[in-house]
Amino acid sequence: IGRDGCMVISKLLQKEDSSLRVLSLNSTSMGDDEAEILASSLQHNTKLTDLSLLDNQFRVKGCMAFLKLLNDISSIDRTYNSNHSLTSLDLPRSIDSFSCGLKKHIDFVRRINEEQEGNAEAAGRAKVIETILNSRKRMYLSRLQGIANSYGRVSTEVDPVLLPNVLALVGGKHGQSEMYLMLVATIPDLASTMNKNDVLKQEVAENAWTAAVEFGAGDKSRRKTVKKKRTNPFFSAVSELAVLHFC
């Protein structure tokens, strides 16, 4: 169909009243430039669910455009607002290992769309949790998309008041090691929401109650609270690193 034909199709897909749900452009000699045009036109399209592009000529560059369409890793907001409606995507056969790996990541986020079909908010949350808040996947995807990769960059997009909740989410989903990596990068932001004296006083009080419980003192309800906090790795890590930062 060439570049001109692809431009015509892209303009139709960008119309707000577009109702097209299935599109097959197999064996149309589509190259990387045409693939980029097509992917860009689907950024705000919420109707198209099935797209088949088999037996075309685009490779890495074109596939990259569809990866960015489905999961723009440049920010939490862009990931959350990526295309979540495309649930079926058939791309040309890969001819090298790099392309195969790239297509695996494309298929991973496509499956999120499929699993959360009809619920864009749930799909957006899942992509943020699985890619933005996972250091290994974020590192790989950031390199592919030419974006700086660090938890520090991620933390600047989160309200500091919500960071403890985000950290707890990371720990629960990806493990304590992942939580610790994010915690180290975000402790200055966490500290900015706390009062130094209050934190130190709270730490002293908790240590005192801990000692009291160990020697059998203190009421039962307070013992349960102390025990819970002592065995909660998230609370312990935040508390210890906060005190070290303040001192």
For 184-198, the DSSP string reads: HHHHHHHHHTS-HHH
**pLDDT of 216 over the 90 cut:** no
Q: Which of 83 and 200 is assigned the larger pLDDT?
A: 83
The count of other CB atoms within 10 Å of the CB of residue 190 is 19
Three-state secondary structure call for residue 50: strand
**Range with the poorest average pLDDT among 84-98, 136-150, 181-195:** 181-195
Mean pLDDT of the chain: 81
User: Do 70 and 82 touch, CB atoms closer than 8 A?
Assistant: yes
- For 134, the token pair is 């996972």
User: Do 83 and 45 touch, CB atoms closer than 8 A?
Assistant: yes
User: Do 97 and 126 touch, CB atoms closer than 8 A?
Assistant: no
User: Which H/E stretch holds residue 32?
Assistant: helix 32-41
**pLDDT of 10 over the 50 cut:** yes
Q: Which of 60 and 190 is assigned the larger pLDDT?
A: 60
User: Which H/E stretch holds residue 72?
Assistant: none
The count of other CB atoms within 10 Å of the CB of residue 247 is 7
- For 243, the token pair is 């005190």
What is the pLDDT averaged over residues 187-191? 62
pLDDT tens digits for 105-155? 999 999 999 999 999 999 999 999 999 999 888 888 888 888 877 766 777
Q: What is the CA radius of gyration of the chain?
A: 24
- Closest by CA position to 56, among listed 87, 94, 103, 20: 94
Maximum distance among all alpha carbons in the chain?
Answer: 81
Is pTM beyond 0.75 here?
A: no
Query: Which pLDDT band holds residue 226 (cuts at 50, 70, 90)?
Result: very low
Q: C-alpha distances in angstroms, 1 versus 52, 54, 204?
A: 15, 14, 72
**pLDDT of 227 over the 60 cut:** no
Query: Which pLDDT band holds residue 9 (cuts at 50, 70, 90)?
Result: very high
**pLDDT of 52 over the 80 cut:** yes
pLDDT tens digits for 169-184? 888 889 888 888 887 8
Query: Which pLDDT band holds residue 232 (cuts at 50, 70, 90)?
Result: very low
CA 83 vs. chain centroid, Å, equals: 14
The residue to which tokens 């699993």 are assigned: 115
Q: End-to-end CA distance of the chain: give it in Å, rounded.
A: 66
Per-residue model confidence (pLDDT) at position 228: 46
